Structure 1
Amino acid sequence: MITRVVMPKLTDTMEEGVVVAWKKQEGDPVMAGDVLAEIETDKAVMDLEAFGSGFLRKILVNEGETVKAGRLIAVIAELDEDIAPALEAGGSSPSSEAQAAGVAKEEGRSPSPATAPSSMRPETVPPMPDTATQPVTRVPISPRARQTAQALGVNLADVRGTGPDGTIVERDVLAYAHQQRRVPPGATIEHPLSQMRKAIARVTTQSKGPVPHFYLTMEIAMDHLEQLRRQWKSLSPEPLSHTAMFVRAVTLALMRHPEINVSFAGESIRYHTAIDIGIAVALDDGLVTPVLRNCAEKSLTEIAREASDLIARARAKQLTPAEYSEATFSISNLGEYGVENFLAVLMPPQAAALAIGAIQSVPVADGETLKVGRRMKVTLSCDHRALDGAQGAKFLQTLKSILEHPLEIFLPPNTC
């Protein structure tokens, strides 16, 4: 039986992918489930598995080539089968489109590592062994580092990675190139856009252009929250990040203002009964927003554990598509970089997103005297097609009250 292998479409935002490496060569036997190639999508590097068995009769796309999702990239068949009709058909058929969709079309379910048809992991390259008998290991490499290495003619096997788990990142390649004097002073390097950067450019353009944004900023006193966090750290071995507390506070505010947890749907406003909060995570070549599902049902400690796991796997590019899509609200925290205030771009279908600035020590009037207080600015971005200013302002007032009187953040769910 002839199996047409197409470029998979693994996310709603993916329009094209890059064949990073072929794991099978023409003429190799193939069993269903075998890894055929590594594919760079807009969010990660993933294994492309075979849907049929036979032999890899034809490879149609070279390594490093970018092709549209759904395009035929290889053919699997028995040795005595005529593959000419499959090659002449080109494009995609209903069966190949189903293969291209993969698990991305299984809405509402995140495949576990043991059952997922495709696994996500950083692109890897084998380093040069020190001796002939030393086993070859594989070192993770970011897509941007790979592009820089190609532009400068750097052999990645010679580069030592300084990123998480030894990942080779762009700065490692540039440092090596400077050390080898391959980059003249003042030279410029032009990078082709990665699949992630293309997706960010496309989605933000589609959002910022047609979606009428408006913004509301509020200052919040953080003295009591920081005091409770210090007490928590002295009593509990579990780490507690500001991000986890912000997610819990936003969840409580959304529970009291369900009109914010909505999407604009053309002729209607879609109310989401589940509170699924996306957390923007910066990567070497872009960002990804892993989603905490059903936040209203989770305690602060559960949110903290799950957020820590999602953020770590996001940075390692190990998330499944279901784990970074369909958030109903999102938060972006640049406070750790000292940013006082900024504006977040809405990512449909969300109608609102919260930008969180740095917590700063500022002079605060206390009657006729001045004292030093801890203050933070947050800005709510809203889709004016679904929300009005008064709705956003009331949500911010509630959020401010929760953060300034934060005891309820630490209470179990369904008790507030």
Structure 2
Amino acid sequence: MAEIITMPRLSDTMTEGVVAQWLKKVGDKISEGDILAEIETDKATMEFESFSEGTLLYIGLKDGEGAPVDSLLAIIGTEGENIDTIIKEFNITVPIAENTSKKEETKTVTTEPTKKAPVVVEASQQAAIVNTGRIIASPLAKKIASEKGINLGTVSGSGENGRIVKSDIENYIPITTTKAIVNSSTVSVGEESFEETTNSQMRKTIARRLAESKFTAPHYYLMIEIDMDNAITSRKAINELPDTKVSFNDIVVKASAMALKKHPKVNSQWFDDRTRINHHVNIGVAVAVEDGLVVPVIPFTDLKSMTQIGAQVKDMAVRAKSKKLTPSEMDGSTFTVSNLGMFGISEFTSIINQPNSAILSVGAIIQKPVVKNGEIVVGNTMKVTLACDHRTVDGATGSAFLQTLKQFIENPVTMLA
């Protein structure tokens, strides 16, 4: 008996899925556990295995096509079995997206001309006769044209010296032609063009969640500048140890975890009916991928060494770029760190990854003149900005967290104990 396979819900936030690639084709023999296809969710691309045995009789979506969860994806049954009635009775949802589709359009336009003799320019689309020189029109004609949305440059005036009057506007009939007469002797012709790419499930989910966060959580921002001279020296000494490699981002993530333990209100989450203050620390680290941004989570970050944090972040970043992270590896964060310092960005603000209460934006280390012991010397500083949800984190609480964070980063040795 034929068995219907529907679009699976592969993550708790998934509402739609896209078939990235079918690994089986109609007519193939299917065993339980065989990988049927790769499905792109709002978070990652995952393998979808069969829980049935038989012959693949029908495929409801092509590669690159998408549909809501529970839409008809495939049918597995006995070879030669008639499935027409099953397909007809099933409520097949029309595919909503082709993941790799692109649209291109072009049109020919002319730049703003100088006031010289008329020149005729061929256009690729219909256009009106346009006078881009000085236009003479009565005040009443201008008012009526404005109300009707008529471009005076396309109106022929019947008054003295070509003056446009009320009757010209009232009797105006749009003129279409394949030539544009331009009042200019020097005309450059350019071509407008654009490209459209269908938004991926990940891109649409990112857009929806960021918009929800920005417009529901009352964000405010606290910025502090950190002296990085000692951190630079400490990192160099740490990395001279055998089998040890620590980045500045690893130092920041570890310092954030330890500061959160001292300021648990920053490690909180807002829900409509309650506020949750977490006593465990799971830091999400923002990673840029082709379709946008994912946030793999380091569970129990405060219990890990900087070396362990660095190894885990590197592994997750590599797998994130190839869409091999599982949804569980991107769930459960209590705080987020976003670092654009490697791109030369000195300071920026981030949108909170809800339901978390805060996110830390980390800028580049900048070498500049600083004052130490009453003297101007060359120093290295780094700006970090904490975005807070004012519903859960007051200004004094956020400020105290940043002071503790600053102490840890400026003295990495205190995090080695």
Please state how far the C-alpha of 1:91 moved relative to its aligned partner: 7.0
Is 1:398 aligned to 2:412, yes or no?
no
Separation (CA, whole Å) in 2 of partners of 1:57 and 1:315: 34
Separation (CA, whole Å) in 2 of partners of 1:87 and 1:278: 46
| Aligned match of 1:254 | 260
Separation (CA, whole Å) in 1 of partners of 2:20 and 2:291: 16
Q: CA 1:91/1:388 → structure 2, altered by over 3 Å: closer, same or farther? A: farther
| Aligned match of 1:95 | none
| Aligned match of 1:212 | 218
| Aligned match of 2:365 | 359
- 1:340-383 per-position Cα deviation (integer Å, ceiling 9, x unaligned): 11111111121111000111112112344211111111111111
| Aligned match of 1:176 | none
Is 1:234 aligned to 2:234, yes or no?
no
Q: CA 1:63/1:315 → structure 2, altered by over 3 Å: closer, same or farther? A: closer
Separation (CA, whole Å) in 2 of partners of 1:80 and 1:312: 44
Separation (CA, whole Å) in 2 of partners of 1:234 and 1:213: 41
Separation (CA, whole Å) in 2 of partners of 1:261 and 1:90: 45
Q: CA 1:227/1:373 → structure 2, altered by over 3 Å: closer, same or farther? A: same
Secondary structure in 1 matching 2:76:
strand
Separation (CA, whole Å) in 1 of partners of 2:371 and 2:303: 39
| Aligned match of 2:287 | 281
Q: CA 1:211/1:247 → structure 2, altered by over 3 Å: closer, same or farther? A: same
> Structure 1 length normalisation: TM-score?
0.73
Once the two structures are overlaid, the 10-residue window that deviates more, 192-201 or 56-65, is: 56-65
Separation (CA, whole Å) in 2 of partners of 1:306 and 1:21: 29
| Aligned match of 2:61 | 61
What aligned pairs does 1:64-103 form with structure 2 within 5 A after superposition? 64-79=64-79, 83=83, 84-85=85-86, 88-90=89-91
Is 1:34 aligned to 2:34, yes or no?
yes
AA matched with 1:30 = I
After the TM superposition, which segments of 4 or more aligned residues of structure 1 sit over 6 Å from their partners? none
Please state how far the C-alpha of 1:329 moved relative to its aligned partner: 0.5
Separation (CA, whole Å) in 2 of partners of 1:387 and 1:267: 16
Is 1:197 aligned to 2:203, yes or no?
yes
What aligned pairs does 1:5-404 form with structure 2 within 5 A after superposition? 5-79=5-79, 83=83, 84-85=85-86, 88-90=89-91, 146-147=100-101, 187-404=193-410
Separation (CA, whole Å) in 1 of partners of 2:195 and 2:47: 30
Q: CA 1:229/1:355 → structure 2, altered by over 3 Å: closer, same or farther? A: same
Point out where structure 2 has 5 or more consecutive residues left out of the alignment: 106-189
Point out where structure 1 has 5 or more consecutive residues left out of the alignment: 93-142, 153-183, 412-416
Secondary structure in 2 matching 1:231:
helix
Once the two structures are overlaid, the 10-residue window that deviates more, 286-295 or 31-40, is: 31-40
Secondary structure in 1 matching 2:196:
coil
Are 1:207 and 1:347, in contact at CA under 8 Å, matched by a contact in 2?
A: yes
Q: CA 1:223/1:16 → structure 2, altered by over 3 Å: closer, same or farther? A: same
Secondary structure in 2 matching 1:189:
strand
Please state how far the C-alpha of 1:304 moved relative to its aligned partner: 1.9
CA root-mean-square deviation: 2.4
Please state how far the C-alpha of 1:296 moved relative to its aligned partner: 2.1
Please state how far the C-alpha of 1:86 moved relative to its aligned partner: 6.9
Q: CA 1:45/1:147 → structure 2, altered by over 3 Å: closer, same or farther? A: farther
- 1:102-156 per-position Cα deviation (integer Å, ceiling 9, x unaligned): xxxxxxxxxxxxxxxxxxxxxxxxxxxxxxxxxxxxxxxxx98x556x979xxxx
AA matched with 1:342 = F
Separation (CA, whole Å) in 2 of partners of 1:79 and 1:272: 55
Q: How many residues align?
A: 328
Are 2:259 and 2:401, in contact at CA under 8 Å, matched by a contact in 1?
A: yes
Separation (CA, whole Å) in 2 of partners of 1:285 and 1:55: 35
AA matched with 2:306 = L
Q: CA 1:37/1:371 → structure 2, altered by over 3 Å: closer, same or farther? A: same
Name the structure where strand makes up a greater proportion of residues: 2
AA matched with 1:392 = G
Separation (CA, whole Å) in 2 of partners of 1:310 and 1:201: 22
The percent of aligned pairs where both chains have the same amino acid is 40
Secondary structure in 2 matching 1:274:
coil
Please state how far the C-alpha of 1:229 moved relative to its aligned partner: 0.5
